[in-house]
Each structure stands twice: as structure tokens, then as C-alpha cells.
Amino acid sequence: MKKVKVVEIGPRDGFQNVKEFIPTETKLRIIDQLMAAGFQKIQITSFVSPKAIPQLRDCRQVVEHCLAKYPKNKLFALVPNFTGARLAVEAGLTEISPVLSLSESHNMNNVKRTVAQSIEEMKKIRQAFPDVKITQDIATAFGCPFEGEMPVEALVELVGKLHVLGIRAFTLCDTVGLAYPTLVEKVFRTVKKAFPSDEFNVHIHDTRNMGILNSYVALQNGADSVQSAVGGLGGCPFAPGASGNTSTEDLVYMLNKCGYDTEIDFAALLKTAKYVHSVIDGNFSGHQINIPEKPCVIRQV
């Protein structure tokens, strides 16, 4: 049975777009349940300005609690800039995910910089924190809400510039769900051929109901891990049209049925998804929470 890495990003990408503040205790309870279900790697928050995303203003408290409780698990956070990176490292994290966009338009909307300026920021982060693992998020890697489908050649060029800085791990993000299977196949085959020793992960949104399919195609074409959010909760606050993430429970169900070993307890995961749905008022794309746990009995007339 082939093992596959499913990385849970709900506590960051799922929570960030929820308008009403989720109590820190509730966030930690959800993370506890995800840990109990078997997740080894979770993106637990983002060190972003509270003015930009008030929902994650408790980022340091979440990180310090989780590091103390789960010292052996891989915990990481998204950071938009050098300040975020510094705060994440000061909180004790040993892996961070800085974000920049392939699209100039989205990069300006998301982090208020040109792509060139973001690359310079990445250079500062890499030099300042040489012992921290950097997994570079590349937003709009497949398509942009402002510029449309992005050229694969442009992605290869951007990865090359980051590779020169010493970055060897990347997450290719379908920020608004514009990807489709043949594009995903082309992108992963191209980047894996150009940078065979680098790590490439995938993060797909489910805007057009192709999240699971695109994630599966990415895995079939060399993706090192796939990211998803419990319940399919989430969306990008700086990308018009971005709906929910790919649902973790839907993805794990599919992978289990296709013979992959996710090391995730599906029953525990589904219970967590239902809990999240019951306590958070947000956008959910998951389907499993609405399926009866026991098969329906057909009554004979």
C-alpha cells in the first residue's frame, strides 16, 4: 500500500475567512481532535497583521500551546513577510511557509508588494533564519482571479529564482480553483523535471468541484503531499471568487478507497469535521458530513 502525506491546513486557511472570532479554546480543541485522528503535520495559524486578518490574532498563543503539547509533530505557520517570519521563529516554530504569488496582480492584493519585492523579502528571510525549514507557498500557481490561467514557464522561472536563494520546498496553490486535471498534470511534470530534487506539494481549492480530482492528479504526477482543510472550510480573503478548500475528509475517504495509506483515522476525522461544522459559521465544501453513518434501509412495500 502506497503511503501519502495529507497535510491539514484548516486551522489557518479554514479559519482565516470566518468573520466571527473563533475562541482560542475552540481552535485548540479542533487541533486536538485532528491530532487524535492521526495528522502528523498541521498548519496551525498565520503570523499576519491582526488588522488584515483579525481571526488569527491569537497566533502566538496557539503556537506556544501546540508546541508544548505536541513537540514531536510537524507544526508550521504561514507568514506574509519578514516580520511574520521573525515572530513565528520567536514563538518557537522550526518550519514556516512564506507566501508570494505567481501573479503580480494577486501579489499586490495579497501582500502589497510586487513579485520582485517579495523575492527580496524571501532572501532576507532565508539569510536571517538559516536553520528554519522554508516551504514556499506560491499562490495563483495555476490561475489568477485577475490575470486568468498562468503560464507554466513563468512558474518554472519563479521557482528557479527561489531555488537560487536556497529554497528547496514549495507548495503550489490553486488559490481560486481555476486548475483542471490536464493543467495540474502539466505543471507537476514540468516542475518535477526542472527541479527533480526539490519538494513540491499541492494546495487545491474546490471552487469548481474539482478539488479532489486535481489533488489526486497531482499525487499521481509526483506531488510530495497534498493540503486540505477539515470540512472544506475556507477561502482566500484577497482573491475574489475563492470558495472553500478541498475537504480533508472527502479527500481521505477517496485516497483510502484508492489503496493509499494516509495513516488517518477516518471515523475520528469525520467526527471532527462534524464538530467544526457545528461550532463555526463558515463556508464548507465537504460532503461527508451530510452522509448518514449507517446505510439507508429500503422499506419493502
Catalytic residues: 236
How far apart CA 46 and CA 59 sit, in angstroms, is 6
Q: Do the Cβ atoms of 24 and 270 come closer than 8 Å?
A: no
How far apart CA 43 and CA 150 sit, in angstroms, is 26
Question: What secondary structure letter does DSSP report for 10?
Answer: I
Q: Measure CA 256 to chain center.
A: 20
How far apart CA 215 and CA 262 sit, in angstroms, is 14
How far apart CA 269 and CA 183 sit, in angstroms, is 30
Concatenated DSSP letters of 76-133: EEEESSHHHHHHHHHTT-SEEEEEEESSHHHHHHHHSS-HHHHHHHHHHHHHH-TTSE
